[in-house]
């Protein structure tokens, strides 16, 4: 047997290295493929006539001269699709929950401004839009309550009569005797906190293209979704198509931030129309549609109160939350997604024996609330961290020292919070210390005080938080949702040329997952990075595909990749042991070359693959194994990721504008796969969090109209809003999962709003102003100042 003599270069492990993203060459060169880049032969376009009423009965639809517009093919309302699609139902086993059905088009009545009512199909989007101008819809306006504080009342007008109430979800979390704790407390503080509505504002708007294959009687949906597998599964039921004839694929996706992580009626619509018309159907949302009809976030009213001992120890917390869930419960996450997480995460990373958190999720005539980077935790962290600062101020304690006394210590892990969440272990105290050390906190205080002596309104704020990431099956089943979010599958194959394909159920929308998962495989399998192709975002790749959300892909995807790579590596080494006449225990593989510790023999992965697949007889049939494996990883629970953010801000005493002067993040995300990508995630998330704290707001007026109609109205951060961000990586004890990874994609949006709120409150402390509503815009600061001078003139949001 002839063996090649290969020199082996022992490369360092790739996990932990700043590897350039393998996605970037195609994206930076403009040769990526997004849904709107696809134009199959015969493609038609859809434009939607959307409701201009917040709550109204549809009396009549008159298409007028719409068919006279050249290029118009068909016009549909809900009744035209009765035989083509059934609704998606976001079910849950939670008590006192009502699951609203999700249809492609409004049926009988509309429930928010922006809800799709009529679909025009035409040869071009221009023609379809022109035809919309000819269509008249007669409505009977119905009463409504636009604010959740009104919608929750017993006599409020019902948005869904069949539910019998607007309050479609109720939950309570409690431990201990919280009322007794408050009776014994030396100090109590309370507030009514609110983060107003936000939306994701991804660079690429929602985009869908459905193709019907008449030969196979099969449907393919190309979507900008980050959960293509979930969408495939629900569409199979709604369209009555078996999985063998239905595929959902997400090509390159230009951001999601959660907004593309749910089922939308437009996805149902293009699929039903493609099958009905037997032609490809495309819908691309414009920015107005994205702002008015993509799922939104937050809008929780949090009445919270904190009880503290005289020496600064937390003893009790109670909260009542009214969550504005919009007009529909979203699929698959249900109406409980945002609101329940507010009260479950409210105690945060602190010791808290006595707790009670109650929530009510209330229907209002607005777009549904759904996933948004951080889900519930930006609001809960904002409320809790404001209470922490308020208590520290009342006790005349430094806010850093106050947190240090109450954060869970390393020896206390695993720690079960008062709401039942288990923090396995994370660097709670170390993150606080790391952030303070990075900015030289004592000197920063001196700098702030000097600025104040010079008449400047300067403040320092910080926020500590913890979140669950990479949740396994034990946690994912708790809400009783209709999907599995707790496992991930990886399928790794080596072909006859030695090329490696790794398929996943995750779907990247900008996180660099093609690079990071390849790094994990390289280290585990011993191959070269350039030999790996990572495939994702396609329901046809693995048997069960969930997607990318909840900071899960590195933890679960990395775990599944590790398991599959280990199996494939074992097969490679067994084949090599036979071919090289060596003991398998003496073999190892690096950079795609198998070597023996006891001889100078070596073989490349390509040579081994060729012997396995192409050279019949090289390996006996009963010993020959395909170089492939499919493995599923379930971490069962999840792992805590924690961080402390610290900022210095300045408020202009004339314009009331807020400028962020300094910002640092100290975070523990376990073993870092790619520091460059992690830093980018942190910086981008903090920028998004600063936007939520200072700028971004979806406003619905008293008539139920969405005031933010463009990016001139809905303000997002630009470079001048975001300072240089200091990042401190802390690798304390690694979690007990495969790889030691923690999720970290959402932390910036969780910590930044609370940090900015505390810093602005500190800057305005001489005026006795406390920030309780975000964004803290110049107008809000002005109104708070007016209210201090004349309480009768106070304006409520």
Residues 412-443 have pLDDT tens digits of 999 999 999 999 999 999 999 999 999 999 99
Sign of CA dihedral 732, 738, 739, 743: negative
Mean of pLDDT values over 330-351: 94
Helices H, strands E: what count in the chain?
Answer: 19, 31
- Higher confidence at residue 546 or residue 246? 246
Mean of pLDDT values over 83-105: 93
Closest CA to 619 of 660, 653, 571: 571
> What token pair was written down for 397?
């304690």
The answer to whether the peptide bond before residue 775 is cis (omega within 30 degrees of 0) is yes
Topology (CATH) of 24-32+487-633: Aldehyde Oxidoreductase; domain 4 (3.30.365)
Mean of pLDDT values over 491-517: 96
* Cα gap 65→484, rounded to integer Å: 48
| 150-202 pLDDT per residue, tens | 999 999 999 999 999 999 999 999 999 999 999 999 999 999 999 999 999 99
Tell me the pLDDT band of 797, cut-offs 50, 70 and 90.
low
* Cα gap 580→599, rounded to integer Å: 10
| 545-562 pLDDT per residue, tens | 888 888 899 999 999 999
pLDDT at residue number 14:
95
Residue 679's H or E segment, with its range, is helix 675-694
Contact 159, 144 (CB under 8 A): yes
Maximum CA extent, the chain:
95
pLDDT at residue number 1:
40
Q: Is the pLDDT of residue 2 over 60?
A: no
Q: Is the pLDDT of residue 385 over 80?
A: yes
* Cα–chain center distance at 96: 26
Mean of pLDDT values over 638-660: 96
Tell me the pLDDT band of 285, cut-offs 50, 70 and 90.
very high
Q: Quote the DSSP letter at residue 157.
A: P
| 687-746 pLDDT per residue, tens | 999 999 999 999 999 999 999 889 999 999 999 889 999 999 998 788 889 999 999 999
Length of the chain, please?
A: 797
- Higher confidence at residue 731 or residue 367? 367
* Cα gap 406→317, rounded to integer Å: 13
Contact 681, 725 (CB under 8 A): no
Percentage with pLDDT > 70 across the chain: 97
* Cα gap 762→76, rounded to integer Å: 56
Topology (CATH) of 296-473+636-793: Aldehyde Oxidoreductase; domain 4 (3.30.365)
pLDDT at residue number 789:
84
List the beta strands (DSSP E) in 454-592: 457-469, 488-494, 500-504, 532-535, 587-590
Residues 6 or more apart whose Cβ sits within 8 Å of residue 81: 104, 105, 269, 272, 276
Residues 6 or more apart whose Cβ sits within 8 Å of residue 769: 761, 781, 784, 785, 788
Q: Sheet containing 109-110: which strands, arranged edge to edge?
A: 109-110, 56-62, 136-141
Burial of 710 (0-12, 13-18, 19+ CB in 10 A): exposed
Sign of CA dihedral 136, 82, 291, 703: positive
Q: Is the pLDDT of residue 544 over 60?
A: yes
| 193-236 pLDDT per residue, tens | 999 999 999 999 999 999 999 999 999 999 999 999 999 999 99
Lowest mean pLDDT among 64-73, 730-739, 745-754: 730-739
Tell me the pLDDT band of 471, cut-offs 50, 70 and 90.
confident
Q: Is the pLDDT of residue 760 over 80?
A: yes
pLDDT at residue number 22:
94
Return the domain boundaries, the chain.
24-32+487-633, 35-142+205-253+260-293, 296-473+636-793
* Cα gap 132→67, rounded to integer Å: 10
Class for domain 35-142+205-253+260-293, per CATH? Answer: alpha beta
pLDDT at residue number 9:
55
pLDDT at residue number 10:
57
Closest CA to 759 of 495, 448, 482, 470: 448
pLDDT at residue number 478:
60
Mean of pLDDT values over 349-361: 97
Mean of pLDDT values over 648-661: 98
* Cα gap 720→659, rounded to integer Å: 9
pLDDT at residue number 793:
61
Q: Is the pLDDT of residue 305 over 60?
A: yes
Do 296-473+636-793 and 35-142+205-253+260-293 fall under one CATH topology?
A: no
How does strand 602-604 pair with strand 593-596? antiparallel
pLDDT at residue number 483:
79
How does strand 500-504 pair with strand 488-494? antiparallel
* Cα gap 287→543, rounded to integer Å: 35
Average pLDDT for the chain: 94
Percentage with pLDDT > 90 across the chain: 90
Place of tokens 């009445």: 303
């Amino acid at each position: 047997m002839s063996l090649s003599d290969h020199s082996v270069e022992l490369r360092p492990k790739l996990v932990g290295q700043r590897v350039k993203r393998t996605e970037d060459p195609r994206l930076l060169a403009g040769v990526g493929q997004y849904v709107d880049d696809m134009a199959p032969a015969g493609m038609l376009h859809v434009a939607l006539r959307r409701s201009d009423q917040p709550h109204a009965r549809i009396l009549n639809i008159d298409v007028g001269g719409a068919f006279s517009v050249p290029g118009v093919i068909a016009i549909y309302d809900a009744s035209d699709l009765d035989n083509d699609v059934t609704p998606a139902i976001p079910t849950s086993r939670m008590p006192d929950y009502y699951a609203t059905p999700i249809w492609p088009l409004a049926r009988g009545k509309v429930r928010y401004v922006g809800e799709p009512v009529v679909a025009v199909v035409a040869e071009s989007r221009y023609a379809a839009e022109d035809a919309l101008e000819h269509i008249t819809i007669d409505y009977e306006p119905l009463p409504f309550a636009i604010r959740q504080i009104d919608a929750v009342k017993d006599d409020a007008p019902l948005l869904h009569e069949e539910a019998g109430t607007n309050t479609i979800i109720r939950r309570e979390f409690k431990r201990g005797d919280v009322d007794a704790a408050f009776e014994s407390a030396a100090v109590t503080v309370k507030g009514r906190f609110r983060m107003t509505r936000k939306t994701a504002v991804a660079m690429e708007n929602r985009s869908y293209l459905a193709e019907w294959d008449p030969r196979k009687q099969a449907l393919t949906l190309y979507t900008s979704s980050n959960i293509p597998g979930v969408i495939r599964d629900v569409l199979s039921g709604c369209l009555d198509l078996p999985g063998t004839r239905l595929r959902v694929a997400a090509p390159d996706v230009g951001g999601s931030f959660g907004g593309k992580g749910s089922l939308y009626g437009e996805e149902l619509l293009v699929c039903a129309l493609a099958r009905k018309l037997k032609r490809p159907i495309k819908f691309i949302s414009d920015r107005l549609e994205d702002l008015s009809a993509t799922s939104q976030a937050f809008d929780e009213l949090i009445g919270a109160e904190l009880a503290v001992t005289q020496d600064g120890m937390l003893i009790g917390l109670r909260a009542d939350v009214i969550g504005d869930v919009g007009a529909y419960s979203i699929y698959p996450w249900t109406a409980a997604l945002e609101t329940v997480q507010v009260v479950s995460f409210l105690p945060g990373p602190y010791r808290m024996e006595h707790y009670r958190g109650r929530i009510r999720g209330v229907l209002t005539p607005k777009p549904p609330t759904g996933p948004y980077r951080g889900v519930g935790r930006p609001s809960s962290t904002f409320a809790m961290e404001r209470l922490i600062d308020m208590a520290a101020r009342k006790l005349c304690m430094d806010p850093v020292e106050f947190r240090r006394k109450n954060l869970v210590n390393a020896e206390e892990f695993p720690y079960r919070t008062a709401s039942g969440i288990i923090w396995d272990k994370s660097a709670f105290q170390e993150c606080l210390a790391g952030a303070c050390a990075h900015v030289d906190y004592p000197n920063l205080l001196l700098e702030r005080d000097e600025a104040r002596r010079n008449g400047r309104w300067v403040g320092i704020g910080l926020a500590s938080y913890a979140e669950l990431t990479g949740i396994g099956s034990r946690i994912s089943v708790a809400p009783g949702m209709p999907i599995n979010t707790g496992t991930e599958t990886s399928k790794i194959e080596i072909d006859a040329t030695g090329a490696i394909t790794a398929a996943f159920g995750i779907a990247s929308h900008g996180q660099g997952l093609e690079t990071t998962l390849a790094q994990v495989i390289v280290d585990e399998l011993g191959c070269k990075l350039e030999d790996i192709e990572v495939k994702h975002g396609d329901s046809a790749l693995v048997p069960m595909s969930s997607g990318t959300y909840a900071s899960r892909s590195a933890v679960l995807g990395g775990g599944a990749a590790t398991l599959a790579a280990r199996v494939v590596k074992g097969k490679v080494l067994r084949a090599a042991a036979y071919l090289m006449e060596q003991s398998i225990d003496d073999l190892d593989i690096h950079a795609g070359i198998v070597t023996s510790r006891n001889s100078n023999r070596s073989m490349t992965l390509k040579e081994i693959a060729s012997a396995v697949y192409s050279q019949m007889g090289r390996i006996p049939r009963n010993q020959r194994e395909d170089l492939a494996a499919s493995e599923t990883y379930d971490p069962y629970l999840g792992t805590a990721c924690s961080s402390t953010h610290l900022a210095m801000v300045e408020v202009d005493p004339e314009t009331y504008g807020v400028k962020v002067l300094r910002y640092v993040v100290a975070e523990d995300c376990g073993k870092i796969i790619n520091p460059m990508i992690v830093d980018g995630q942190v910086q981008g998330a903090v920028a998004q969090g600063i936007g939520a704290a200072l700028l971004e707001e979806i406003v619905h007026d008293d008539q139920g109209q969405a005031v933010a109609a463009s990016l001139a109205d809905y303000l997002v951060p630009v470079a001048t809003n975001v300072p240089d961000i200091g990042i401190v990586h802390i690798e304390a004890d690694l979690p007990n999962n495969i790889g030691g990874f923690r999720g970290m994609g959402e932390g910036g949006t969780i910590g930044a709003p609370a940090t900015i709120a505390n810093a602005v409150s500190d800057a305005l402390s001489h005026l006795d102003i406390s920030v309780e509503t975000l964004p803290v815009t110049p107008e809000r600061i002005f109104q708070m100042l007016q209210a201090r001078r004349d309480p009768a003139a106070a304006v409520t949001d």
